[in-house]
Each structure stands twice: as structure tokens, then as C-alpha cells.
């Protein structure tokens, strides 16, 4: 039967659009280091933490009846870090703010939510990879991240040809243990996580779940001679590094909490700013360690 006279969807340009109300966002928004460590208050743009090194395992034998000889005792030392200002702006034209959208009642509010998620990932990256800078007129202050703060217990590979092995990993744990650290957490990128999951002696590697017919080929908890560590994935860890630490040895020191404020309009738009200021407090870097310059691809 001929259908030439029938109006088809291809001929109509005013059909109502079929748009879902759900807006899907796909991004690396997990912040395990930022979310996992404690929080404290900073009162200046340069925040310092105190630490003390005691003498252990020294020879200690007194002659009966002898007098004590006065000795100069050591005092606590400090390690400091500069606060870094994080901020973003959400800005929408007044016309767009008045237009009805699928799935969004208030575009400016939605933009604020998205910008805050972005800031959290910016903070995560800085807390791990920050290089530090005191700042100046025209130069932003930068906090020093955990990887740059850890200088004592560092195992350095040779680069592209030096892959992470179980022996390599345990050597790093032993170095930290010898220095007095008792780390409980490890953060790695996806490549090194797969290397750890492939360790031949790892607990929980390649366990077959017969009832569910599932094969588990991952390691989230590693039992070593130097303690149990939890292995965590972090998209903002450099692919050629492994961070070994304890959550209680680091804190986020907040000078100014994140706030949302009106941005003065100079045109036909509405805007809000999101801004805060913080740094990373390291109680004693010798309690942690890292592996760097290892094969990452």
C-alpha cells in the first residue's frame, strides 16, 4: 500500500523532544586521601607541626653509686607547610537561568555542585602531588603534598625498566619499619594496583568463589612481615609511584572553610564563587614512605 500521503515523523520538526531528566556525570571524583585523613585548624598561612625523635636501643649501664652527668637534651622540631587557596566560579546568564531545562530546576545551583566536586579533586591532587611555594605578589601559594614531604624512606627505581615486584614492595615496608613507622595504608594508581594484585604470595589473590562461580583477582589487604596494609586506588596518584602511610600521621589543616558567596554581577548574568584555603599537616614523615620512578606502562 502506498504511504506517500501519510505524514511521518521524518516530516515533522515540532515533535516534543524525548530527553531524560537524568544527567550522567562520568569522572574520577573519589578522593580517598583527602577524605580519609583527619582535619584540624590552621591559624596562619604557614602551618607548622611538631615532632620529636627519641633515642632507642642505646647502651645503658650505670656504675653503682655514680653521679649523673648533665647532658643537653634535644627539643621538638617543626615542619611547616603553606596554605593554598582553592576556588572556582559558577556563572550563568540571566536568560538561561530563566529557561526551563530537562532535569535541572536551578542551573546555577547545579553548576555550584559540579564545581565543588571539581575542587575536591583539585585538593586531592595537591595533597598528593603538591610541590610547595611560599607565594608572592602575582604568584599563588602552593602546599607541599605527601609525596614531596616524604624524604627519608624512599625507594627509587630506575624508571621504565624497573617494575614493582613483591620483593620491592616488602623492601619499602621494611625500610619504614626500621625507621620506626608502622604504616597501615597504601595508595596507588590503576597500573600499580594490578601489579600488587598479581603478587604471587598475596593473600586473597585469585581466590575462586565456587558458590557464585566468581574469580577474584585482586588484593585489597596485604599481610606482610611488617604489618597489614590496606591497598587503595587513587586516580590522582602518579602512575610511577606508591605511597605508603598511616592516616593518623597526616591532617588537612583548614585556614578558611569552603564557602559559597555572591559574585558581583557586571553584566547580564548571575554568579557564585566557591573558595577555601588549606594545607597538609605532616606529623612526622619518617612514619611513611614511598616507591618512585618505577615502570608505569
Q: Give me the pLDDT at residue 132, please.
A: 94
When computed from its CA atoms, the radius of gyration of the chain, rounded to whole angstroms, is 27
**Which of 201, 207, 164 minimizes the C-alpha distance to 186?**
164
Residue 231 lies in a domain: yes
Q: Give me the pLDDT at residue 208, please.
A: 44
- Measured CA distances, 45 to 134, 203, 277 (Å): 9, 44, 9
pTM, two decimal places: 0.87
What residues make up the domain containing 119? 32-53+76-287
Q: Is 95 left (phi over 0), alpha (psi -120 to 50) or beta?
A: alpha
Residue 271 lies in a domain: yes
CATH of the domain at 129: 3.90.1690
Say how many domains are in the chain: 1
Q: Give me the pLDDT at residue 209, please.
A: 44
What is the spatial distance between Cα 43 and Cα 47, in angstroms, rounded to a whole number? Answer: 7
What is the spatial distance between Cα 171 and Cα 174, in angstroms, rounded to a whole number? Answer: 5
Q: Give me the pLDDT at residue 83, please.
A: 97
Residue 294 lies in a domain: no
Q: Give me the pLDDT at residue 276, please.
A: 95
What is the spatial distance between Cα 154 and Cα 290, in angstroms, rounded to a whole number? Answer: 5
Residue 81 lies in a domain: yes
Residue 13 lies in a domain: no
Q: Give me the pLDDT at residue 271, please.
A: 95
How many C-beta neighbours within 10 Å does residue 240 have? 20
What is the spatial distance between Cα 261 and Cα 273, in angstroms, rounded to a whole number? Answer: 5
Task: Write out the chain's pLDDT in tens, 297 residues.
Answer: 556 778 777 888 878 777 767 666 667 888 999 999 999 999 999 999 988 878 788 888 889 999 988 777 788 888 899 999 999 999 999 999 999 988 888 999 999 999 999 999 999 999 999 999 999 999 999 999 999 999 999 999 877 778 999 999 999 999 999 999 999 999 999 999 999 998 876 444 444 444 554 545 567 889 999 999 999 999 999 999 999 999 999 999 999 999 999 999 889 999 999 999 999 999 999 999 999 999 988
What is the spatial distance between Cα 161 and Cα 8, in angstroms, rounded to a whole number? Answer: 63
**Which of 261, 220, 291, 277 minimizes the C-alpha distance to 46?**
277
Q: Give me the pLDDT at residue 227, please.
A: 92
What is the spatial distance between Cα 29 and Cα 45, in angstroms, rounded to a whole number? Answer: 27
Residue 25 lies in a domain: no
Residue 24 lies in a domain: no
How many C-beta neighbours within 10 Å does residue 247 have? 15
Instruction: Give the residues across from 81 on adjacent strands.
Output: 47
Amino acid at each position: 500500500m502506498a504511504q506517500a500521503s501519510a505524514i511521518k515523523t521524518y516530516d515533522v520538526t515540532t515533535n516534543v523532544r524525548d530527553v531524560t531528566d537524568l544527567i550522567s556525570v562520568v569522572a574520577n571524583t573519589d578522593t580517598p586521601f583527602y577524605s580519609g585523613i583527619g582535619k584540624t585548624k590552621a591559624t596562619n598561612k604557614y602551618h607548622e607541626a611538631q615532632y620529636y625523635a627519641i633515642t632507642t636501643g642505646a647502651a645503658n649501664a650505670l656504675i653503682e653509686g655514680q653521679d649523673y652527668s648533665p647532658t643537653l637534651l634535644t627539643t621538638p622540631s617543626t615542619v611547616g607547610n603553606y596554605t593554598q587557596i582553592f576556588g572556582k566560579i559558577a556563572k550563568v546568564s540571566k536568560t538561561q537561568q530563566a529557561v526551563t531545562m530537562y532535569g535541572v530546576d536551578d542551573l546555577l545551583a547545579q553548576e555550584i555542585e559540579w564545581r565543588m566536586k571539581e575542587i575536591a579533586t583539585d585538593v586531592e591532587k595537591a595533597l598528593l602531588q603538591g610541590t610547595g611555594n611560599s607565594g608572592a605578589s602575582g604568584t599563588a601559594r602552593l602546599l607541599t603534598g605527601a609525596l614531596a614531604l616524604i624524604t627519608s624512606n624512599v625507594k627509587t627505581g630506575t624508571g621504565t625498566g624497573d617494575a614493582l615486584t613483591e620483593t620491592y614492595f616488602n623492601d619499602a615496608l621494611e625500610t619504614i619499619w626500621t625507621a620506626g613507622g608502622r604504616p597501615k595504608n597504601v595508595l596507588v594508581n590503576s597500573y600499580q594496583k594490578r601489579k600488587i594484585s598479581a603478587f604471587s604470595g598475596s593473600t586473597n589473590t585469585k581466590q575462586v568463589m565456587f558458590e557464585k562461580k566468581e574469580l577474584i583477582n585482586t588484593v585489597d589487604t596485604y599481610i606482610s612481615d611488617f604489618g597489614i596494609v590496606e591497598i587503595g586506588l587513587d586516580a590522582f596518584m602518579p602512575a610511577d609511584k606508591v605511597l605508603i602511610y598511616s592516616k593518623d600521621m597526616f591532617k588537612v589543616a583548614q585556614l578558611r572553610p569552603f564557602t559559597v558567596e555572591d559574585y558581583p554581577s557586571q553584566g547580564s548574568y548571575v554568579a557564585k564563587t566557591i573558595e577555601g584555603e588549606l594545607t597538609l599537616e605532616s606529623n612526622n614523615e619518617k612514619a611513611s614512605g614511598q616507591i618512585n620512578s618505577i615502570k608505569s606502562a
